[in-house]
Amino acid sequence: MAFQSEIRQSLINRLTEKVNGRNYGKYLNKVRLNPIRGFKDETITFDFPVTAIIGPNGGGKTSVLGAAGCAYISVRPGRFFAKSGRFDDSMQNWKINYELIDRSINPNDSINRRAKFTNFKWTRDRISRNVALFGVSRTVPANERKEFSKCASGRFHVTEDRIFQLEQNVIDAAQKILGKDLNNYTRINVDDNGKVTLLTGSTNEGVQFSEFHFGAGESSIIKMVLKIESLPDNSLILIEEIENGLHPIATIRMVEYLIDVASRKSSQAIFTTHSNDALLPLPSKAIWSATNNKFFQGKLDVKSLRAITGQVDAKLAIFVEDDFAKMWVESCIASDSEINYEEVQVHKMEGDGIAKSVNKYHNMNPTTGNSSICILDGDSQQNDSEEEKVYKLPGESPEAYIFDEVLENINSETDSMIGELTIALHRKFEDQEEVKSIINHVRLTNRDYHLLFSQIGKKLGFISEIVVKSAFLNIWKTQYPDQVQLINSFIKKTWIR
């Protein structure tokens, strides 16, 4: 089943328009690293107020997070870019350039600022903004945290004036993320200034328990929400590895919460992640991958990052736009004995622009060790190019093309494929006329070609969309061998067994 976010598309559109219109009191528009670690003249733009940074370990995700934080004087550069004597000599002459909004400095336009490391120290413009930073240490269990050592005792006690019920807005937000009732939870100020807080919870039977018995994810979410809800408008939220300690559903809900906060409080959030689930609620322009000292904008499968960097066993990587294009190409490959499918991998990129750009980078990168091609949808506005190894599938939209080609054949008086298609759709051979009628009715009433196969599956009795797609592709292959050969020729031009 396709993912459906609880964040409405209208809100996504409204927030995107707000960024485009620069309707913020404070906002970080753009960061350019030149150089920082291995990055040279690489730029990230923040085109949506919640931005995900993905990439392999050591790819530079935390460098982006640190660079963003260092735009503001409240974040110490050493938190992200510590120098260790002569072992970090490469830090000399590091520079970060910023384009940002600060209406207290310029009421009408964005401003440009810089942070640089020269003469063994950082120098920065003093730009102020409230920044909340949540590192990976937030999920360290309470019994392993030094600040809670005095709480781990039967003699621990605080007066009632240090015990507070969680605010209702915190309860509402945190329990939506965690999926549990938090109405009887409290926070305890362990020290005089309230910087160290211990949480308490309660079972349905009213039995109280302390944070020492919380799950790491539960504790970190409540404390993050406590902090975020206390922030003033136009704050910046930085989160390392947002999925740390969280169930996949809670990870999705946490990102949805950040989008909600961006709407309510005009805040901006940037987080790093290794999780595909964290990307699901976000638009494509809100996602950047950092890998091999390069940035790529656009939604893609986190697993595909290994293909971008050449960290795959396959001799040929194929980049396509989406799941259906991946199924289509893999189906063609499987029918050709001249192609060793075990040495070819197809990766979806969630968009034509990123598919083409990562293919170009992959083939220009001498460290990848294997070749790649890009196969775009027929209606892509990107240009195909033999030189750049970019090709296009036949037809326009892949789903509609395959569907209509099969439909034309099963409606032909001389065609006998409807029987085979009926069996492939998990129905009895005798049901072929009913199946044919359903297929024609769906095509007649369909408004969104992306839903064609799921609509067929539902009308046939909740048959999986994957089963329906596979059935149509298999029938199409037998009917159009010349088209199959055309698609496979793209592969053979670059690699053959």
Q: How many CB atoms lie within 10 A of CB 13?
A: 11
The residue-averaged pLDDT of 235-252 equals 95
Q: How far apart are CA 142 and CA 43, in angstroms?
A: 39
- 3-state DSSP call for residue 223? helix
pTM for the structure as a whole? 0.80
Q: Give CA separation, 105 vs 102, 181, 231, 265, 442, in Å.
A: 6, 44, 21, 20, 58
The residue-averaged pLDDT of 65-74 equals 96
Q: How far apart are CA 376 and CA 144, in angstroms?
A: 51
Q: What is the mean pLDDT of the chain?
A: 89
Please tell me the predicted confidence (pLDDT) of residue 497: 46
Sign of the CA dihedral 29, 18, 299, 52? positive
φ, ψ (nearest 5 deg) of residue 60: 115, 15
**Strand partners for 237:** 132, 269
**Packing angle, helices 417-424 and 432-445, rounded to 10:** 80
Sign of the CA dihedral 115, 117, 122, 123? negative
Q: How far apart are CA 249 and CA 255, in angstroms?
A: 10
Q: Is the pLDDT of residue 118 over 60?
A: yes
For 9-135+233-291, give the CATH class: alpha beta
Please tell me the predicted confidence (pLDDT) of residue 484: 95
* CATH numeric code, 299-397+483-494: 3.40.50
Confidence of residue 440 (pLDDT cuts 50, 70, 90): very high
Place of tokens 């807080």: 197
The residue-averaged pLDDT of 409-429 equals 85
Which tens digit of pLDDT belongs to each residue from 344-361? 889 888 789 888 988 888
In the chain, where the domains are located: 9-135+233-291, 142-214, 299-397+483-494, 399-478
Q: How far apart are CA 104 and CA 402, in angstroms?
A: 56
- Identity of the residue numbered 479: Q
β-sheet with 26-33: strand ranges across: 42-45, 26-33, 94-102, 111-118, 121-124
Among 447, 456, 458, 375, which Cα is nearest to 421's? Answer: 456
Token pair for 351:
């968009």
105: Cβ contacts below 8 Å, ≥ 6 apart: 111, 127
**Is 212 within 8 Å of 139 (Cβ atoms)?**
no
Q: How far apart are CA 288 and CA 281, in angstroms?
A: 14
Confidence of residue 417 (pLDDT cuts 50, 70, 90): confident
Is the omega angle on the peptide bond into residue 141 within 30 degrees of 0, that is, cis? no
Q: Is the pLDDT of residue 2 over 70?
A: no
The two domains 9-135+233-291 and 299-397+483-494 share their CATH topology (first three levels equal): yes
Confidence of residue 230 (pLDDT cuts 50, 70, 90): very high
